[in-house]
Structure 1
Amino acid sequence: MKSLTHKEGFLHRFVDFSHSFPEQIAIRDLDADETVTYRDLRIRAEECNGFLHALKVSPGEKVALVLPNSVDFIAYYLAVIGHGAVPVILNYKLTAFELGNVLGISKPSLIVTTGALFEQHQDLFQPTHALIVGNGDEPLENATVEATLPRQAQPLSLPDDNPIVSMQFTYRGIGKPLAVCHRYLDLTQSSDGLHEQFHPQGVGSVHLVTLPLYAIFGLSVMMVFPLSIGATLLMTNTLLNRDLAQVLSEHQVTFACLVPDVIRYFNSRLAKRKGPRLPLHPHLMMYSGGSHLPADEGEKLGKLLGCAAVLQGYGLTESMPVIVQSSVGEVHRGAMGRPISGVELRVVDAQGQDVVAGRIGELLIRGSMVIPGYEAAPEINARFFRDGWLHTGDLVWRDEEGHVFFYCQRLRISKIKAQMVDLAEIESVALKHPDAVRARAYIVPDHKEVNVLHLSVEGDGELSQNSVTTLLSRYLSGFKLPKIIEIVPLKEALHAR
């Protein structure tokens, strides 16, 4: 893969498309029944940039986006980059406790959010000025409603180097979030490397967007990639309430990514679907991301829809997607694929020595799309970044042709519903219970290879399943809540009886 110049970055490409193909549809929002052209999206981003100017946001400052998948999320992301500021992209579904942790690390000068989310987290957001997207004229303390600002569009300033264009957060089993920053050309290069493995996409291609854009996989594959090639983003936050086959057929989708839990869900629904198969795009590519997908589930969805089997990929918040099964090349059943251009990988044993094909070892990766380290975390960086290699903590093996197969995760983290769960964080919250003495979270795969979170808490007094569940719900997002909680009486208390 050739090295990119700043003029070949994704924002440059998007702006070029907005001028050369102004009427091309950039976003079709199924939920809002809204269609946005490339010109419309650029104009909306320029309006958002005007709001940032009105609020005197300086280049280099951090702007937090706490928004659901929407046209506004995309427009503000483009505007923040085009303003020379740094987007801090946060999961809008986080609890106040979780949001407080990441806001404390990132320290943005402005939070862009909705009225409902501002009301929900008003005490948390108020120390930082907030910009409320949408209408409204009621005065708010330390917040500005977008509709009260003058609509004075400001052209997007295109980056002339390789600035940071996203700050996101991940976990590594140490009980606290870690800040990850990606840069302009690196994000573009990752998208280009993926495209080399796909049926060619471009103007007229339709990409189904169902993954959250606040995660790196959604941001890079579901937004940056299509907008840099002139494709259409088909957006919906209600896919589970829709007929997947109908959506794919009606809009002639060419590229779709789904997480394993959603694939299992549609396998069950489509098995009961009546009527003939609907005509799909002849080069429809279905991919799975977020966590490992068993091969039979991906093959089943392809058979039910009448298209090729679901392909897989692999990436981390620290790396963006770096391994992918090719839709135009050789695919090995059950593999995650081979590294894209610009990525090097090793599989090593406990002593750091490379293992032969067929042997299990830890996956190490490096390349321009892999970050050099977490922000302001030198001790943690020394553990995970050594000699230019990111130690992923994932155990894998390779076959003779270099296809990578996932085995298991070595760190005390896991994916639940395609979301990262840090077992140490769950334990630390459980220990906030006044009668808890020890806590241990662990994962048990069920009969469908779905990760199930268990929690064992040792203590006495008022410790109970209900009290622990109530405590965890106060602090943690729903996907982090254990499915099974075991209460273990203190051994000391038992001996005293």
Structure 2
Amino acid sequence: MYLTQPLHKSLIECPTRTATVFGERRRSYAEFVDRVARLAGALKKLGVKPGDRVAMLGLNSDRYVEYLFGVVWAGAVINPVNIRWSPREIIYSLDDCDSQILLIDDTFLAMLDPLQAGSSSLKTVIYAGDKTAPEGTLSYEDLLADAEPAEDALRKDKDLAAIMYTGGTTGKPKGVMLSHGNLFADALGSQAVAGLNFRSVTLHAAPAFHVAGTGLILQSVARLNTNVILPMFEPKAVMVAAEKEKAQDIFLVPTMLRMLMNHPDFGKHDMSSLRHFMYGASPMDSALLKRAKAAFPETGFIQAYGMTELSPTVTILTAEWHTQKGEDSGRMMSAGQPLPVAEIRIVDGNDQPVATGTRGEIVVRGPTVMQGYWNKPEQTADALRGGWMHTGDAGYMDEDGFVFVVDRIKDMIVTGGENVYSAEVEEVVLQMPQILQCAVIGVPDEDWGERVHLVVVLKDDATLTQEEVTSHCKQHIANYKVPRSLEIRDEMPMSSAGKLLKFKLREEHWGDRDRKVS
């Protein structure tokens, strides 16, 4: 399995079909493949060798799609940088996997000086914008113009294709290693269940750096679709593009869908071409789902559940179950059934399978499971113990294999579709001199699904405000990780052994809900 296979097919089957649409730029598959091959040639001239890591920091664009395929065409490994991270976090991800080349667009040029000053690995910066390349950078378009198209390296199967950084349980991000086989197996498995049309039109609004965004691009190109790319999610832009390009497929996280439907212009643009509305990253509440189904009566809703370590999808709830049948059976609120390539178990604390309907940890085995965490053998061994990927999600499975996610075993919060590990936030918060003890938890939030909530015990005579917490945290971590609410207590709930009982803090906010994730 090699990720560039669809590009070779496109040259035979549909070379004149539009491959990418970005603003006023429209490129055919023949043009797209030529640019991918030239980017690979340019990277090789810069010294990129098979297995080397190449990073990109930018908004969605046609060049971002070329980057994803051009790097693997050259035999190298993509390292898509989280655009919401602080310079400190980005530098860590570059240096951790020795990314010596970085592509950057206009939006993030202000970060370039601190990145170059702080990174020990970064050697070459390629400017992937539309203006004149800044001093000290190489022009993306000039590189392509001067390069000869390279032969496809045809890296495949177990060859490393991507390092995707995700939050760390110990305060440091982890580089998830995904192979060609991982990503291609997931694309095929997802397609087999979702039943999306070939040679359709996909609207890309979710961030490409995220594994869901990257995965959607890979899957869409595998179906030889036309890829309509928006720089970022913006409700009005989605409506305009869907109407203009007659988009058939789109992926949004529930937070984005809510923003779309709450926009004052919602209903003023013809979005009736949409046939598949995919969502994931966090569950969708029943009220929002019913409202969306009423607004898009001809559109099939499809939920995907997974994680970066699973390339990323392992279960899908098909359109069939987003119906009265799904509502009556209760399965509309499930995460769906496993892909044909994914084997799922629910296990107890000793990794032993539990009875049908019994809650435990969701574990996964199959060809989409990651190779491991970059340079983190102990965390890899723990996550993959017994040959199963331990998701850290608690759930149960019914008699027909429908998976229900009910809680998290990992100390993780999902806010607006982004993962936030409590330990990383707590490490930053504890640098504040006023704080004696702290705990970060996820609490229900109508707009974001979950909100990062900070609970603290202060030192004697100390004071603390939400504004002080926000100001301090923004200097160290991405904005979406910053606590949005603050609770000051005299003491924390502790066990007899002196362990913080964080679940008791969560119980106060989640109450008697069956599902303690949102």
Q: Which residue of 2 aligns with 1:191?
A: 187
Q: Say which is worse superposed, 18-27 or 248-257, in terms of deviation.
A: 248-257
Query: In the TM superposition, what is the alpha-carbon distance from 1:397 to its structure 2 partner?
Result: 1.5
Distance 1:489 1:465, change over 3 A: farther
**1:16 counterpart = 2:9:** yes
Q: Distance in 1 between matches of 2:446 and 2:130?
A: 49
Which residue is 2:288 aligned to? Answer: 297
**C-alpha distance in 2, partners of 1:448/1:405?**
22
- Give the CA deviation at 1:294: 1.9
Secondary structure of 1:432's counterpart equals coil
Residue 147 (structure 2) pairs with residue 146 (structure 1): no
Q: Distance between the aligned counterparts of 1:235 and 1:327, measured in 2?
A: 25
Equivalent of residue 97 in structure 1, options 88, 95, 105? 88
| Aligned counterparts of 2:266 and 2:61: Cα–Cα separation in 1 | 30
Per the alignment, residue 262 of structure 1 pairs with 256
Q: What is the rounded CA distance, in whole Å, between the counterparts of 1:238 and 1:215 in structure 2?
A: 12
Deviation at 1:193, TM superposition (A): 0.7
The match for 2:227 is: 233
Instruction: Provide the C-alpha distance between the structure 1 equivalents of 2:372 and 2:307, rounded to a whole number of angstroms.
Output: 13
Q: Contact 1:349/1:362 (CA < 8 Å) preserved in 2?
A: yes
The 1:372–1:165 alpha-carbon spacing in structure 2 relative to 1, beyond 3 Å, is: closer
Amino acid across the alignment from 2:345:
R
- 2:482 alignment partner AA: L
Equivalent-residue separation in structure 1 for 2:395 and 2:463 (angstroms): 44
Displacement, 1:454? 0.9
Choose 123-132 or 334-343, whichever is displaced more: 123-132
Distance of 1:251 and 1:422 partners within structure 2: 38
Q: Are 2:466 and 1:465 aligned?
A: yes
Aligned to 1:406: 405
Instruction: Give the structure 2 partner of residue 495 of structure 1.
Output: none
1:24 CA drift (Å): 0.5
Equivalent position of 2:375 in the other structure: 376
Which secondary structure does the structure 1 equivalent of 2:47 belong to? coil
Provide the secondary structure at the position in 2 that maps to 1:140. coil
Q: State the distance in 2 between where 1:188 and 1:280 align.
A: 30
- The equivalent of 2:206 in structure 1 is 211
CA RMSD of aligned residues (A): 2.6
Given candidates 299, 324, 338, the residue that maps to 2:316 is: 324
Which residue does 1:475 correspond to in 2?
476
The 8 Å contact of residues 178 and 375 in structure 1, kept in 2 or not, is answered as: yes
Matched to 1:182, the amino acid is: L
- What is the Cα deviation at residue 15 of structure 1? 2.4
CA contact (8 A) 1:245 1:305 kept: no
Aligned partners of 1:139 and 1:423: how far apart in 2?
Answer: 38
Whether the aligned pair in 1 keeps the contact of 2:60 and 2:232 (CA below 8 Å) is no
Pick from 169, 172, 178: which aligns with 1:176? 172
**Deviation string for 1:46-74 (max 9, x for gaps)?**
23223213322222221112222111111
Within 2, Cα distance between the matches of 1:385 and 1:153? 42
Distance verdict in 2 for CA 1:103–1:278, change over 3 Å: closer
Residue aligned with 1:131, SS: strand
Q: Which runs of 5+ in 1 are unaligned?
A: 1-5, 492-497
One-letter code of the match for 1:45?
V
Matched residue, 2:486: 485
SS of the residue aligned with 1:57?
A: coil
How far the C-alpha of 1:115 sits from its partner, in A, is 4.7
SS state of the match for residue 38, structure 2? helix
CA gap of 1:115–1:354, structure 2 versus 1, over 3 A, is same
Q: Distance in 2 between matches of 1:462 and 1:327?
A: 52
Q: 2:25 aligned with 1:26, yes or no? A: no
Give the match for residue 3 of structure 1: none
Matched, 1:421 2:415: no
Q: Alpha carbons of 1:121 and 1:208: their partners in 2 closer, same or farther (altered >3 Å)?
A: same
- The answer for the alignment partner of 2:43 in structure 1 is 52
* Alpha-carbon separation, structure 1, partners of 2:142 and 2:217: 29
Residue by residue over 1:327-362, the C-alpha shift from the partner in whole angstroms, topping out at 9 and shown as x without a partner, is 468953111111111110101122333222222211
Secondary structure class of the residue paired with 1:63: strand
Corresponding residue pairs, total? 476
Q: Which residue of 1 is the match for residue 505 of structure 2?
A: none
Q: Distance in 2 between matches of 1:484 and 1:116?
A: 29
Change (3 A) 1:241 1:308: closer
Aligned partners of 2:419, 2:317: CA distance in 1, in Å? Answer: 22
The C-alpha deviation readout for 1:346-394, integer Å capped at 9, x for no partner, is 0112233322222221101010110142122122223221110011110
In structure 2, relative to structure 1, the CA distance for the partners of 1:115 and 1:208 (3 Å cut) is closer
Q: Distance in 2 between matches of 1:235 and 1:136?
A: 20
Aligned partners of 1:303 and 1:309 also within 8 Å:
no
Contact 1:217 1:315 in 2 (8 A): no
Q: Look up the match of 2:245.
A: 251
Amino acid at match of 2:378: E
Name the CA distance, whole Å, in 2 between partners of 1:342 and 1:228.
17
**1:322 Cα offset (Å):** 1.0
- Please point out which of 59, 63, 66 is paired with 1:68: 59
Cα distance change on mapping 1:76 and 1:448 into 2, 3 Å: closer
CA 1:234–1:274: 2 relative to 1, 3 Å:
closer
Q: Alignment partner of 1:346: what SS? A: strand
Q: In the aligned structure 1, how far is the partner of 2:73 from the partner of 2:487?
A: 51
User: Alignment partner of 2:183: what SS?
Assistant: helix
Measured after TM superposition, the shift of residue 245 of structure 1 is 5.6
Distance 2:129 2:241 in 1: 28
Name which of 33, 36, 42 aligns with 2:27: 36
Cα-to-partner distance string for 1:415-455 (whole Å, 9 max, x where unaligned): 11101101111111112223333221111114678212111
Q: 1:288 — aligned with what?
A: 279
User: Which consecutive residues of structure 2, in runs of 5 or more, have no partner in the other structure?
Assistant: 493-518
* Structure-1 residue corresponding to 2:497: none
Amino acid at match of 2:368: M
Shift of 1:488: 5.2
Return the alpha-carbon distance in structure 2 between the equivalents of residues 87 and 273 of structure 1.
36
2-side partners of 1:263 and 1:349: how far apart? 35
Deviation of the 1:489 alpha carbon? 7.3
Question: Which string of whole-angstrom CA distances, capped at 9 and with x for unpartnered residues, describes residues 172-227 of structure 1?
Answer: 53221111111112211111111111234212x0112111111111111x210111
Of 86-95 and 414-423, deviating more is 86-95
Give the structure 1 partner of residue 114 of structure 2: 123
What do the CA deviations read for 1:289-332 (whole angstroms, capped 9, x no partner)? Answer: 11111233223212112224532111110001111122468953
Equivalent pair of 2:466/2:485 in contact (CA under 8 Å): no
Distance 1:91 1:260, change over 3 A: same
Shift of the 354–53 alpha-carbon distance from structure 1 to 2, 3 Å rule, reads: closer
Contact 1:179 1:374 (C-alpha < 8 Å) held by counterparts: yes
Report the counterpart of residue 362 of structure 1 in structure 2: 361
> 1:10 aligns to what SS in structure 2?
coil
Mapped partners of 1:448, 1:353: distance in 2:
37
Name the SS of the counterpart of 1:333 in structure 2: helix
Deviations 1:97-148 (CA, angstroms, capped at 9, x unpaired): 111221221111211112552442313235412122246667734x433355
For normalisation by structure 2, the TM-score amounts to 0.85
Q: Which residue of 1 aligns with 2:512?
A: none
Q: Tell me the TM-score normalised to structure 1 length.
A: 0.88
Distance in 1 separating the partners of 2:446 and 2:471: 28
Identity of matched residues, %: 22
